[in-house]
Amino acid sequence: MKLILLGAPGSGKGTQAAYITDKYDLPHISTGDLFRENIKNKTPLGIKVKEIMDTGNLCPDDLTVELVKDRLNNPDCKNGYLLDGFPRDIPQAIALDEFAAPDVVIEIDVDLNKIEHRITGRRSCPKCGGSFHVDFIGNVDKCPTCGDKLIIRKDDNPETVKERLEVYQNQTAPLIEYYGKQGKLVKVNGDQPIEKVFEEVVKVLG
């Protein structure tokens, strides 16, 4: 199964991805995580994209497409994948259609007014990729999943959230129509408790 999770920043893609990859045994490919790993390791790619990511803009399409192409060539992707955060604009979707077109695109639909609260309360685990919210775990600094130290991502602040939402509306939201026309898009209601959202996803995927 080749699956894409589409949705605004903070809509719950990473959270649902953890449940989905566990149940359906798919590799979780998050371009945001891949970029952050490159930044942490100070690779040439990481050095190129750091500033762009800090401001909430999109990294260049050619670099992003290359990164995903490389990752999908890994043997663990031969039975399918779960893409989280890619594609993020029409040129990326066209490129993906040329080398590994998806079967299903799940759009996590959320009220955009709730995004700032979700993102500013997010606590992330760089080690296991876990994503949590202070509303649920309180102000702890240990990852509930793996015990490592939780961080607040540099781009998870109110100013950058505004920019990221604009980028989403201008560049990413057109993908809803793109995949709708291909008959691949399924919308789930992301404004429900995490388990309920996952129930809807399971109904789609079977």
Please identify every residue annotated as catalytic: 13, 88, 122, 153, 164
Kindly tell me which of 146 and 202 has the beta carbon lying closer to Zn ion: 146
Cβ atoms of 31 and 64 within 8 Å: the answer is yes
Radius of gyration of the chain from its Cα atoms, rounded to whole angstroms: 16
Q: Secondary structure of the chain in the HEC alphabet?
A: CEEEEEECCCCCHHHHHHHHHHHHCCCEEEHHHHHHHHHHCCCHHHHHHHHHHHHCCCCCHHHHHHHHHHHHCCHHHCCCEEEECCCCCHHHHHHHHHHHCCCEEEEEECCHHHHHHHHHCEEECCCCCCEEEHHHHCCCCECCCCCCECECCCCCCHHHHHHHHHHHHHHHCHHHHHHHHCCCEEEEECCCCHHHHHHHHHHHHC
153 binds Zn ion (CB under 5 A): no
Size of residue set near Zn ion by CB under 5 A = 8
90 binds ligand ADP (CB under 6 A): no
Partner from Zn ion, ligand ADP, none binding residue 131, C-beta < 5-8 Å depending on class? ligand ADP
Q: Tokens at residue 97, please?
A: 């259609």
Region of 7-15, 74-82, 139-147, 179-187 interacting with ligand ADP (CB under 6 A): 7-15
The piece of 32-40, 63-71, 141-149, 180-188 that touches Zn ion (CB under 5 A) is: 141-149
100 is a contact residue toward Zn ion (CB under 5 A): no
In the complex, residue closest to ligand ADP by CB: 32
Q: Which of 2, 3, 4, 13 binds ligand ADP (CB under 6 A)?
A: 13
Does 178 contact ligand ADP by CB under 6 A? Answer: no
Binding mask 123-162 for ligand ADP (x = CB under 6 A): --------xxx---------------------x-------
Shortest separation between residue 90's beta carbon and Zn ion, angstroms: 34
Residues near ligand ADP, by CB under 6 A: 7, 9-15, 31-32, 35, 52-53, 56-59, 64, 85-86, 88, 92, 118, 121-122, 131-133, 155, 164, 190, 193-194, 197
